Amino acid sequence: MIFVSVRDQVPGERRVALTPGVVKRLIGLGAEVRLESGYGEGNHLSDAQYEEVGARFASRDALLAEADVLLALNAPEAETLSSLREGATVVSFLDPFRRTDLVTLARDRKISTLVMELIPRTSYAQKMDALSSQASLGGYAAVITAADRSPKAFPMMSTPAGTIPPARVFVVGVGVAGLQAIATAKRLGARVEAYDTRPVVAEQVQSLGAKFVELDVGETGQTEQGYAKELSEEQLAEQRRQMAKVVAGADVVITTAQLFGRPAPRIIDAGMVAGMKPGSVIVDMAASTGGNVEGSVSDEEIEINGVRIIGIANLPGFVARDASEMYASNLFALLEHAWNDETKQLDLAREGDEVLGGCLLTHDGAVRDERVAAVLPGGAQ
Ligand code: NAD
């Protein structure tokens, strides 16, 4: 089976789907691995390092034409999908609820897609969970970026010239990214508060040495898969009203609130931004999915009345080497799970397999996930 990976076409992307270590392990399974020249350049990985472990290089066009399986990090663009032969498989993030064009193209061209966002959040599948691995590094990078932009030092410092109080950091949304943001801000010495609509996370917040902010917004909770339930407009307005004071007192606010398959909730409105001190920093980790913060712009840093709002989408890309290692390792775990040792092929449509049943989105010309099928043009498959 020929596994192919080509250079990512998202501008500025330095992460790669395959590291030399994972190429070696894939070849160990009995697959061939072929890459585009200059594949790991942005990540300081030379072609020679990949060749040493058995990868072969060819032109992008030749690779796409011969691929049995295309391995990628970001969703391959339509042109790339169209260059694959019918029946080929793609394994990558696909952003399936928004990139419905790619889902229908894959369906119509009978391309099978294993979609990283749809891997079930179970203990068994943790090693394949690229959403978590990238969110965790994103949470870290969000705090480091905020610290860089903030005019305040994070730790308390007692000096002969006086005592500097610790920076106040407020984290909204305590999933994987939020937890890492809290831990990072604590390590830097900040005074950290956090809030989430899922009350179950209060204990995790406290165990990291941060304070959980209690807000009364009526019934909240989580779905069976552990994702937050969507709040009503009235609940969100109440949440903003009660949260405004905490936001106004913060030097840094990191928002990470997401709703699976839905636009991100609006957590901070223009009035709350206006209530912050000039020099304060907000990192909106949801800027690319609609934004938690009114006025934030995906992939831009803007300033409103002296408050800097950072909407950089690819925060894990700031730590591209570690993010690539983790993604490649997630990818390998998924491929190893789907690998049939006897046939030396991927076995995708395995009956009763929870992982593949969850993340195999298009196969044999059909869309298999009802939630995604429901948002496709025309509604059904
Ligand atoms: P996510 O990225 O979907 O959302 C981030 C956080 O935003 C969540 O904690 C959510 O509750 C919160 N949020 C949503 N609306 C909000 C609002 N209005 N105000 C404040 N906060 C709001 O979440 P995630 O990091 O992908 O994690 C989702 C769930 O999956 C969590 O329960 C997590 O513990 C669980 N999980 C399980 C596994 C596993 O078992 N393998 C792995 C990763 C995550």
| 66-87 pLDDT tens trace | 999 999 999 999 999 999 999 9
pTM of the full predicted structure? 0.95
Across 222-238, average pLDDT: 87
Confidence tier at 378 by pLDDT (50, 70, 90): confident
Confidence tier at 147 by pLDDT (50, 70, 90): very high
Which atom of ligand 1 approaches the CA of 135 most closely? 25
* Catalytic residue numbers, as ranges: 121, 126, 129, 132, 227
Ligand 1 close to Cβ of residue 20 (< 6 A): no
Ligand 1 close to Cβ of residue 221 (< 6 A): no
Ligand 1 close to Cβ of residue 176 (< 6 A): yes
89-127 pLDDT tens trace: 999 999 999 999 999 999 999 999 999 999 999 999 999
Cα–ligand 1 centroid distance for 173 (angstroms): 7
Residue 381 has pLDDT above 80, yes or no: no
Residue nearest to atom 1 of ligand 1 (CA): 258
Sorted by sequence, the CB contacts under 8 Å of residue 37 that are 6+ apart come out as 47, 57, 59
347-365 pLDDT tens trace: 998 899 999 999 999 999 9
Cα–ligand 1 centroid distance for 36 (angstroms): 36
Q: What is the pLDDT of residue 125?
A: 98
Residue 63 has pLDDT above 80, yes or no: yes
Q: How many residues are given for the chain?
A: 381
Ligand 1 close to Cβ of residue 260 (< 6 A): yes
Residue 225 has pLDDT above 80, yes or no: no
Q: What is the pLDDT of residue 380?
A: 54
| CB contact at 8 A, 60 and 36 | yes
Side-chain half-sphere CA neighbours of 17 within 13 A: 31
Residue 376 has pLDDT above 60, yes or no: yes
Q: What is the pLDDT of residue 221?
A: 78
Query: Encoding tokens for residue 171?
Result: 């984290």
Residue nearest to atom 37 of ligand 1 (CA): 121
Ligand 1 close to Cβ of residue 126 (< 6 A): yes
Ligand 1 close to Cβ of residue 138 (< 6 A): no
Cα–ligand 1 centroid distance for 257 (angstroms): 8
Q: What is the pLDDT of residue 337?
A: 98
Question: Cα separation of 130 and 72, whole Å?
Answer: 12
